[in-house]
Amino acid sequence: MSALSDHPPLPTSNSAYSRLDYWNDRFSKEKQFEWLLNYADLKSYINKHCLRTGLTNQSNVTVLLVGCGNSTLSPDMYADGYKSVTSLDYSESCINSMKEQFPEDDNFKWVLGDMTDLVQFQDKQFDLVVDKAAMDAIMVSEGDVWNPDPPVILLARKMCREISRVLKVGGLHLQVSFAQPHFRKKYLNGSHGDADMGVDEEGVCEEFGWDLLDEPVAGDNKDGCFHHFFYSMHKKRDGKW
């Protein structure tokens, strides 16, 4: 992780990361902070997975970043040539701060909203949806990773359903996370609890309509860095719920 010098002290409990009041207070004091990795670290992974799904021309790709925080990922992607970039966060102080630092234009927007209820957006609106540590914030209330608390399972399922809904068929959902594949893939495939619809013979999740690949990023390749994971979901068809 990297930060500017005005980064406030870390909370005494990870549970703070699930509270809106914590984020509003933090973003009112802190201009920018990068969780996990920055765009320069991730660019080759994003390009590789866009290539596998046919999103080969950045100037034609519409992007949504959920739980964007005060990362520069979205302005960096826009500066690198992505056609349209929309960044969403539920913290008003975050959105106001980022609008001030990186002003909007017709194709670059900051939106106040909930990543588990993307009411501002139409079905099949985006080619690419990116989550960098946003679902991780939900997981601070997970409890036992082998038997997660039901409200966390529900929130993760709502998030995935909404991302699938606003993602075009043929589009791509990318996630960067602390979470190891054994645990995170159960959320991304909707395989927790009685609502599990399974994965078909082609490896496509029935509920969300996407396949799922994963790979490590950074970690062993960077001295002094924890291992992180990159999840790539290619939407093959509409989900079922």
In tens, the pLDDT along 91-132 reads 999 999 999 999 999 999 999 999 999 999 999 999 999 999
Helices and strands: H and E segment counts in the chain: 7, 9
Per-residue pLDDT, 192: 82
Query: What is the helix, strand, coil percentage profile of the chain, to 5?
Result: 35, 25, 40
Dist CA 69 CA 63 (whole Å): 16
In tens, the pLDDT along 15-34 reads 667 677 787 788 888 888 88
Q: What are the residues whose beta carbons fall under 8 Å from the beta carbon of 196, sequence distance 6 or more?
A: 190, 207
pTM for this structure? 0.89
Do the Cβ atoms of 6 and 30 come closer than 8 Å? Answer: yes
CB atoms within 10 A of CB 73: 23
Dist CA 213 CA 234 (whole Å): 9
Average pLDDT over residues 210-225: 74
**Pairing verdict, β 33-34 and 62-66:** unpaired
- Please, what is the average pLDDT of the chain? 88
